[in-house]
Structure formats: structure tokens, C-alpha cells
Amino acid sequence: MNYRLIIQYDGTRYVGWQRQAKTADTIQGKIEGVLSRMTGSPIEIHGAGRTDAGVHALGQVANVRLKTEKSPEEIRAYLNTYLPEDIGIVSVAEASERFHSRLNAIGKIYCYRLATDPALHVLERKYMAAWETPLDQKAMKKAAGYLIGTHDFQSFCARKSKKSTVRRLDEIHFEEFPGELRLTFHGNGFLYHMVRILTGTLLEIGSGQRRPEEIPSILEAKERRAAGFTAPAQGLTLVEVLYS
């Protein structure tokens, strides 16, 4: 049976989602370990996205094929009993045999949280990046307008790729709270470090280091060095994976 899992995790102490041979500190590895113990055989799960070291998730989606007599709720209970407290299984449900969490995804939503006054967010400091330099949000929003649509985002990818780097960015939403600015990115897919580089570039524009009008030339360059810095991982959360 194929099962669909929705997963939350605090990525602070993990080296990312993807299982690695040299460390046990991955989200995928932890979940596979518990499921292997439950079924008595090796298990492989497939995540919708490979979040980086230090990145969090509210709605990561994975699918896994299991031979078990346990109900979906019993699988969920078993996982939450034996997984570390910083990984939580929100739901387990039977899925069609053709469902694949990554291949069937049509979009993702990420949120980047900036603590513009870190003193107001002591309890949330692991989930926000500090940024106390004043920001010109009008300039940032103007720059964001150039990014919306279908573009080659090679300049916003941390490594060269032989595969297509064309993606569709549907929205960059700005939301302000006391001592906090949130940037929410909605697109059909994201490249390696793409959201963090987009955020870093927008922050450079907001702080006057770049002009909004530079965005088209940054896209055209198709060179990582043309874009801004990579914002810290701790501020980024995968909010939701979208399916048709």
C-alpha cells in the first residue's frame, strides 16, 4: 500500500531532508529508521522536496510503500512515539498507487521570516533570521515584480545544473508584524538555495545596496555571482506542497 505523509520538523539540528551515508542526522533517515523497525524490513520514503540543512517544514509531503496490518492512524501513532520530538507526523493517509510526492507536486509555498527587532522574538529565534538594517519595502516590492513569471533562475541557484533552471514564480507576498517581516514565495518549483538567494537579493535592494531595476540583468546573466547573498537557512520554512 502507498501512503501519503504530511510532516513537520524543526531543521535546526539536521543536515537536511535527504538521507546521507555519513550521518544519521537527516529527516528522511530518521523516518525511514522508525518505519524499518516497525515493518522489520528496509524502507525508503520519497519527499516532495529536499530541504537544506537548518531549514524547517510545516507541510512537507512524502510517500512510502508499506506492508503492514496497521491502520494509517496506527502508523502515525507509531512514528510519533519513536521519532525525535523535533519531527512530527501530522497525518498518514492511504494514497493511490500512482501518487508520488515529488513528481505529482504542482507547486510549493515557502516562507522566509526576518526578525527586524530580534528582542521581540527571543522564543522564536531559531526560526527567524535577524535583520535590523532599515528596509525600503517599496523598492523590494518593485524588484519582486520583475521576478514574477516564468524565467531562467540560474543566477538564483547555488550550483550549476545540467537540467532546466526555468521556473515559474507566481507570487512574492510581503507581510509585516511587530518586529518581523515575512516574505512568502509561491511557485511551481524552486532550485537549490533559490528562495534564500532571492531573499538575500531583495534584502540588498531593500537596504540600498542594489536597485530594483537590476533584476532583469541579474536574470539575464545566468551566473550565481550576479545575484545577492544567500540568506541564512534558519529563517526559511516549507509551508505547503501543492497538488492538483
| Residues designated as active site | 52
Q: Dihedral, CA atoms, 97, 99, 103, 105, nearest 10 degrees?
A: 180
Average of per-residue pLDDT across 222-234: 97
User: CA angle 171-92-105, nearest 5°?
Assistant: 30
CB burial readout 57-72, b (16+ within 10 A) else e: bbbbbbbbebeeeeeb
pLDDT of 83 over the 90 cut? yes
With residue 76 as reference, give the H or E element that holds it: helix 72-82
Distance CA 114, CA 112 (A): 7
Best CA proximity match to 204, nearest among 227, 182, 236, 177: 227
The reported pLDDT for the residue numbered 160 is: 81
pLDDT of 100 over the 90 cut? yes
Map grid coordinates 510581503 to a residue. Answer: 174
Strands 236-243 and 56-65, bridge-based pairing:
parallel
* Whether pTM exceeds 0.75: yes
Polymer length in residues for the chain = 244
Per-residue pLDDT tens for 106-138? 999 999 999 999 999 999 999 999 999 999 999
The boundaries of every CATH 3.30.70.660 domain in the chain are 106-243
**In the CATH scheme, what is the code of domain 106-243?**
3.30.70.660
The reported pLDDT for the residue numbered 162 is: 78
pLDDT of 90 over the 90 cut? yes
The boundaries of every CATH 3.30.70.580 domain in the chain are 2-95
The reported pLDDT for the residue numbered 181 is: 98
**DSSP-assigned letter for residue 82:** H
SS3 category, 199: helix
Per-residue pLDDT tens for 54-67? 999 999 999 999 99
Measured in whole angstroms, the distance separating CA 216 from the mean position of its chain's CA atoms is 25
Map grid coordinates 520554512 to a residue. Answer: 237
Q: State the CATH class of domain 2-95.
A: alpha beta
Per-residue pLDDT tens for 158-215? 988 778 999 999 999 999 999 999 999 999 999 999 999 999 999 999 999 999 999 9
